[in-house]
Amino acid sequence: MSVEVIDPGRLSNSFLGDTTQVCIVTRDLYRKLEGFVQLGIGPWAIYEYGPHNTTDQTYRGRPQPYSMRVALATTGSSRWELIEPLEGPTLYGDWLDQYGESVQHVVQKCDSLEYEAKIEEFRRRGFEVAQSGTMWGIVRFAYFDTVPLIGVAIEVSAYPADAQYPEPDSWYPAPPT
């Protein structure tokens, strides 16, 4: 069996940039948080996203409201995200049904491109937006179903330079000191 050696010059993947976040989907956010805290990861900022704070929601190419509970924590220069889907069809619910609780997506920084150019580059490579939205009217995000190729979805987002996360709905196990 011979393996084709690909000339690195033919690879044009620099648009992906750094992987900045790993997301695990779960059916029970607090149970999963307990495990991460036992490992020493936290505190966790907890938010609930839905039509009340996330607009332009789409799923599989169509407008579709959905909601989810999200927990975020940082270790070093990377962020952990846990998502518990609450209502509406989502990639998160699809993942839980097919694969169970596990890593569902990673976030790629793609700093070399503006948001729309990121979307177009994925389309050029054969991937359409599978789910998207705009948080707090300023942070746009899109997921691409890259699962058949690499085993996880990829998310890209557009954070304005001055964007700040709002105060979380709650903290687990407690606010940072």
**pLDDT at res. 28:** 98
The CATH architecture to which 16-159 belongs is: Roll (3.10)
CB-facing half-sphere around the CA of 165: CA atoms within 13 A: 12
pLDDT band at 12 (very low <50, low <70, confident <90, very high): low
If you average pLDDT over residues 149-170, what whole number do you get? 91
For residue 26, count other CB atoms closer than 10 A to its CB: 22
Domain layout of the chain by residue ranges: 16-159
For 124-145, how does the pLDDT look when each residue is reduced to its tens digit (9 = 90+)? 889 999 999 999 999 999 999 9
**Global pTM exceeds 0.95:** no
CB-facing half-sphere around the CA of 13: CA atoms within 13 A: 6
Secondary element (H or E) of residue 83 = strand 78-87
- Name which of 19, 17, 22, 9 is nearest 114 in CA terms: 17
**pLDDT at res. 4:** 52
Answer for the pair 25, 106: CB distance below 8 angstroms, yes or no.
no
